[in-house]
Amino acid sequence: MAKIRVGVIGCGGISKSHFGAWQATGYGDVVACCDADEARARERAEAFGVPHVYTDWKELLKRDDIDAVDLCLPHHLHAPAAFDAARARKHVLVEKPIATTLGEAHEMVMACRTAGVKLMVEQSSYFSWTLHAARRLIDGGLIGDRTEITWHRMSSKDVITQAERNMAWKIGKETAGGGALHRDGIHEVYALRFAAGAEPTRVTAEGGTYVWPIELETTAHAIYRFANGCMATLVVSWSAQGAGDRGRVIYGTKGAVTLGGNRLQLHSEQAGLEEATLRGLVGEPAPLALSQADGVWTVEAPKVAGGITAAVDAFARAVAEDTELPVTGVDGLRALEMVIGAYRSAEEGRAISLPIVAL
C-alpha cells in the first residue's frame, strides 16, 4: 500500500506531537511544512526531516505530490486553510475545535463534500482506550439504562502568560472563538457525547470570567439533555484556583462507570458478574489488569497509543485505504454546536435546542 504524502500547516506548539505522530504511522509521510514564521517551520523541518518548507500555505497547496494537509493553526485560520485545501483537492485533518463559528464549520463540511475530499477533526479525546472500553461495558448492559452523567475538567490555567508567549490569539474572541469551553471543553464535549451514546437535544448553561482578565469565559457550567433521555452536567474551568481536578462518571439504572486517565471503575448491580464477561465485552486490545474489590471492578488500560498519535494514524489510514473516518467534519460540527449552544443559552438566559445546523 502506498503511503499518503502530507503537508503540515502551522508549526507551533501542538505541531510537535503531529510531526511525531506522522513519523510513527505507517500510512503517511510529511513532505512539506508551512508556518508564517519561517524559523519555526525550518526548526520543525530539521527536527523531523521534512524536505520542503513554506511560509504561505497557498504555495504548499500547489504541490501535486501532496494528498492531504494537517492543519495545526489558530482557530480562526482553520476555515480559510480548509477551503483552500479543498479547492486544491487535498484531504484535510484539522486540529480541534473545527472552527470558531458554526457558519465556518458548516462551510468547511460543504466545501470538502463538494471537492470530494475527506475532512477529519483531530479530537484527541476520542482516541482513549478507557472511553471506548467504558462505552462497550455500558452498551453491554452492565449499568442498565444511562440516567445521568457528571463530567468536569477543572484547572488553573495561566492563560495570560501563555498568551504573552506568542499566543495572544488564544485569548481573543475573533481568533479563538471562545474560552475554556471552546478550547479545552471541546475535548470533553466530544467524549461526553460519545459516552452518552445519543445526540444532545437541549443545553442550558452559564458562563463566567474569574481570576484572569480576559474577554472570554474562564468557566462554563452546562447541562445537556440527550435523545436517549439521560442528562449530563459538564463543568470546564481555567479559573479553579488551587484544586485542579477531572471527573467523569456515567450513571445508569443499575450501576455506574467512573473514567480515569488509564483506568475505569465499574459499579454494577448485575448478579454473578464474572471476569470473563467483562473481558468479553471490553474485547481487544485486552486490559492490562482487571480486579474486583468490594463489588467494584477496576479495569486498567493497556499501553496503546492514544490521543494525537492514534488520530493521525486513523486519518492517514482512512485516506490511504479510502475508508470511513472515525471522526468526521460533521462530528466536529456537532461537538462545536454543544459549545455554541451553551454560549447562546448563557447569553439569552434560556434553554437552546440542538442541533442548531441542519445538514
Q: Contact positions toward ligand NAD, by CB under 6 A?
A: 9-15, 34-37, 40, 57, 72-75, 77, 95-96, 122, 124, 167, 183, 308
- Residue 326 exposed, middle or buried by CB count within 10 Å (0-12, 13-18, 19+): middle
Residue 125 pairs in a beta bridge with none
In the bound state with ligand NAD, the residue whose beta carbon lies nearer, of 134 and 311, is: 311
User: At closest approach, how far in Å is the CB of 2 from ligand NAD?
Assistant: 28
The C-alpha atoms of residue 334 and residue 357 are separated, in whole angstroms, by 8
Give the C-alpha distances (Å, rounded to integers) separating 1 from 21, 118, 193, 328.
Answer: 19, 19, 34, 23
- Interatomic CA distance for residues 194 and 198, integer angstroms: 7
Min CB(81)–ligand NAD separation in Å: 7
Question: Smaller CB distance to ligand NAD: residue 183 or 317?
Answer: 183
CB of 200 to ligand NAD, least distance (A): 22
- Of 91 and 146, which CB lies nearer to ligand NAD in the complex structure? 91
CA pair distance 78, 132, nearest whole angstrom: 28
Give the whole-angstrom CA distance, residue 30 versus residue 54: 13
Tell the smallest beta-carbon distance from residue 74 to ligand NAD (Å).
5
Q: CB-wise, 28 or 306, nearer to ligand NAD?
A: 306
Nearer to ligand NAD, 287 or 332 (CB): 332
User: Which CB sits closer to ligand NAD, 11 or 30?
Assistant: 11
Rounded Cα distance, 91 and 331, in Å: 16
Looking at beta carbons, which residue is closest to ligand NAD?
A: 12
Residue with cell 456515567: 250
CB atoms within 10 A of CB 226: 21
Quote the least distance from Cβ 132 to ligand NAD, whole Å: 18
Q: How far is the CB of 36 from ligand NAD (least distance, A)?
A: 4
**Cell representation of residue 51:** 524536505
Q: Is the dihedral of CA 185, 203, 130, 320 positive or negative?
A: negative
